[in-house]
Structure 1
Amino acid sequence: MLRPHISLRLMRADELVDDPSPDACVEVTLSPSAPRPAGDPDAVAFAEPLRITPADLLRLHMESDLALGEIRAEAQRADIAWQRHLGRWYDEGRAAVEAGEPEVTLLLASSSDPGGRECKSNGSVSYPVVAQRESGCIR
């Protein structure tokens, strides 16, 4: 992510002698951030310097801190909610796997294999263990 660079310059008194707004003595300049013109790949667009008063600069700083703080807090709330949702989903999935019956497509429904060997059972439903398969019962 590109971060725009901002430079501040307090203008000298001689620059403000004949100025119609001498209170706006702080010059704010942004580094090149505009996209390059399509015709010239080497051209760089610079934003015009903006002049503001020191009080406006302080207000801008305070308001941007408040806005960024609200954004951070909202992002943290969203992350916490997502982690909780993910935890519930994980717990529900684990409980379903532990309590659920085995899938018919993966496991055989018989309680013993044709060779007379027993398969694993969870009490009510017998199912073969997924490992090596030998004559109907997977071992």
Structure 2
Amino acid sequence: MRKIIVIVSLVLFLTACRLEYRNTSSNHQIIRICNNSDMDIYFRQGNCEGGIFDNADIATSPVYFKIFARECKNEYRESFEVDMEYWCSELKISYVFFDAKIVETIPFDTIFKYNMMLGSKIFTKEQLDSLDWTITYP
């Protein structure tokens, strides 16, 4: 019985340690996104050309995608480098920004169809390294 308790405790400890996100020089798990504007915005990862990736409604998850005026939010992944390699032929990533008032009042299918975004930014890994993995809107 004592062995089982020790093994379960060890597994729980190792699992808890794995859930902590961190950035290393070769694997970044956190991107900080800052909103330096006077309005609330929504963000999400874009496609390789800086456009809207799909029509998944981000308004249903403001906890994850909404940034209030003059605030910052962290986005977490197992590895942003792996995302870059998987989605794009080059090591780059894009983020798309939306006016919160529009996202919260217009169906996202319409926003997607008419490409109603405030703008987008595309970054290479080297650019993100130089920015300490912080993206700022605008």
TM bracket (short chain): under 0.3
More strand per residue: 1 or 2? 2
Structure number with larger C-alpha Rg: 1
Normalising by structure 1, we get a TM-score of 0.22
> Which protein has greater RCO, CA pairs closer than 8 Å, 6+ apart?
2
